[in-house]
């Protein structure tokens, strides 16, 4: 099967080259979104068949296969389906979907400018240094990563959930208020196109016409530029003000080192308490997916406050007993830190092993305290032996007058 994918803007009278006009004139089966159909309907030949691109996409591709099979029966040659898509079909576009779902299909692309290019053109803004993020049908992680990494210029494709207003609200919630927002609405439409420059505070309370796209530019006061390597303990809200209920900064950094986070993808923090390890990991390694577990209900508001205060969006918080938590819908971890175990360390480790990736690691910090009846390192050693885990060389250290800590790591 062959696909010809033609990019268009919101212009009610799109420009087509002579070559593309000829392709359309001889086409039989066309496809695209309903908005695309409204724009190009007058250009289609008589008797043309149209397939709407709607979710679920599997049903759309089943229609493609059906019409192709029918065509093969009568013509003994593959069908060419002409698809209309927004902007550049290879820029987070439908041509990529075709190549993913039908890798053997022939694909030819005729692009036009995408919406972020059009917005940059309207602003006379160079965009070679722009960090591109798509929020169209996608969650926040890539956008959050761009913020944490201090991108000075961010281009964002939006949808009905990730609007300019919700983007601005999220940025303000986590302290990224040093950006200016440019919003382009109905770009390419001669009557409806509008480009607006706003502060985040202004954008957070505004409604915008769809479709739209956003460019964000920093005023230079990047949070990353002022972020220390190792967040001071005093920057965290504590559990009941108890200084001992936080993994101290030097130990925290060595713990992250033991977890080998630069090369990991999904990090689980079990027993997060104040969230210091989760937040440090999120800020130092923003490519990570971070899932944080805690049994004490009062800790939920503490980690949320600390994440907002320190600019760490995107941490997935799961409250309740870890041993009772359904893990089936969570991303599979390749790095796990057990910060609290309540005497059930072996059971926790056994449950982690049911989901831990084959090259994953588990890390645990054992405290040597004279009044603790059962040595946590003994529990760790017994669990590793019972579960057939390989232990790496431990790290021993002591910070000021606090009890000695041993950082322990094991693998499958």
pLDDT of residue 72: 86
Tell me how far CA of residue 216 lies from CA of 54, 88, 133, 313, in angstroms: 30, 21, 11, 17
**CB of 406 within 8 A of CB of 365?**
yes
* Structure confidence by residue, pLDDT tens digits, 161-212: 999 999 999 999 999 999 999 999 999 998 999 999 999 999 999 999 999 9
In a 10 Å sphere around its CB, with 0-12 CB exposed, 13-18 middle and 19+ buried, how is residue 183 labelled? buried
Residues 6+ apart with CB under 8 A from 18: none
What share of the chain has pLDDT > 70, as a percent? Answer: 96
Question: How large is the average pLDDT for residues 237-259?
Answer: 85
pLDDT band at 97; cut points 50, 70, 90: very high
Which of the 8 DSSP states describes residue 153?
E
Asked whether the predicted pLDDT for residue 371 surpasses 70, the reply is no
Asked whether the predicted pLDDT for residue 76 surpasses 90, the reply is no
Asked whether the predicted pLDDT for residue 374 surpasses 50, the reply is yes
Order the strands of the 153-157 sheet from edge to edge: 131-134, 153-157, 212-218, 179-185, 194-199
**pTM recorded for the entire structure:** 0.89
The phi and psi torsions of 100 (rounded to 5 degrees) equal: -75, -45
pLDDT band at 373; cut points 50, 70, 90: very low
pLDDT of residue 285: 97
Q: Look at residues 366, 395, 399 and name the one whose alpha carbon lies nearest to residue 230.
A: 399
pLDDT band at 367; cut points 50, 70, 90: confident
Tell me how far CA of residue 128 lies from CA of 125, 154, 247, in angstroms: 9, 11, 42
Asked whether the predicted pLDDT for residue 372 surpasses 80, the reply is no
pLDDT of residue 340: 83
Q: Give per-residue burial for 137-168: e unless 16+ CB within 10 Å, then b.
A: eeebbbbbbbbbebbebbbbbbeeebbbbbbb
Q: Take residue 292 and report the two structure tokens written for it.
A: 């944080």
pLDDT band at 397; cut points 50, 70, 90: confident
Asked whether the predicted pLDDT for residue 306 surpasses 90, the reply is yes
248 against 124, higher pLDDT: 124
- Three-class SS of residue 4? strand
Q: What is the residue-averaged pLDDT of the chain?
A: 93
403 against 349, higher pLDDT: 349
Beta bridge partners of 179: 218
């Amino acid at each position: 099967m062959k696909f010809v994918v033609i990019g268009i803007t919101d212009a009610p009278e799109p420009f087509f080259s002579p070559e593309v006009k000829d392709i359309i004139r001889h086409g039989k089966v066309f496809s695209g979104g309903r908005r695309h159909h409204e724009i190009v309907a007058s250009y289609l030949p008589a008797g043309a068949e149209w397939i709407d691109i709607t979710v679920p996409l599997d049903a759309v591709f089943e229609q493609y296969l059906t019409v192709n099979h029918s065509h093969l029966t009568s013509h003994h040659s593959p069908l060419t389906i002409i698809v209309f898509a927004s902007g550049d079909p290879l820029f987070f576009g439908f041509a990529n979907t075709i190549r993913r779902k039908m890798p053997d299909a022939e694909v030819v692309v005729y692009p036009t400018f995408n919406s972020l290019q059009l917005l940059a053109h309207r602003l006379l803004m160079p965009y070679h240094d722009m960090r591109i993020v798509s929020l169209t049908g996608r969650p926040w992680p890539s956008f959050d990563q761009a913020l944490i990494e201090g991108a000075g210029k961010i281009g964002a494709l939006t949808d009905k959930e990730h609007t300019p207003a919700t983007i601005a609200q999220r940025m303000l919630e986590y302290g990224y208020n040093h950006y200016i927002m440019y919003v382009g609405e109905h770009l390419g439409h001669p009557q409806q196109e509008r480009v607006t420059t706003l502060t985040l505070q202004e954008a957070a309370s505004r409604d915008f016409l769809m479709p739209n796209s956003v460019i964000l530019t920093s005023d230079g006061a990047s949070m990353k530029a002022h972020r220390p390597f190792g967040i001071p303990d005093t920057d965290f809200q504590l559990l009941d003000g108890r200084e001992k209920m936080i993994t101290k900064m030097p130990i925290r950094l060595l713990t992250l080192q033991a977890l080998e986070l630069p090369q990991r993808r999904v990090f689980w923090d079990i027993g997060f308490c104040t969230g210091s390890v989760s937040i440090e990991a999120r800020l130092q390694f923003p490519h990570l997916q971070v899932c944080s577990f805690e049994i004490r209900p009062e800790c939920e508001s503490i980690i949320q406050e600390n994440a907002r205060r320190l600019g760490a969006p995107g941490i997935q918080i799961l409250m309740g007993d870890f041993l009772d938590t359904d893990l089936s819908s969570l991303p599979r971890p390749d790095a796990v830190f057990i910060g609290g175990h309540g005497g059930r360390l072996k059971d926790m480790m056994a449950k982690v092993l049911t989901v831990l990736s084959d090259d994953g690691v588990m890390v645990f910090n054992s405290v040597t305290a004279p009044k603790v009846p059962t040595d946590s390192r003994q529990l760790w050693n017994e669990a590793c032996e019972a579960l057939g885990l390989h232990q790496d060389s431990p790290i021993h250290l002591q910070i000021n007058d606090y009890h000695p800590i041993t950082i322990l790591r094991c693998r499958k």
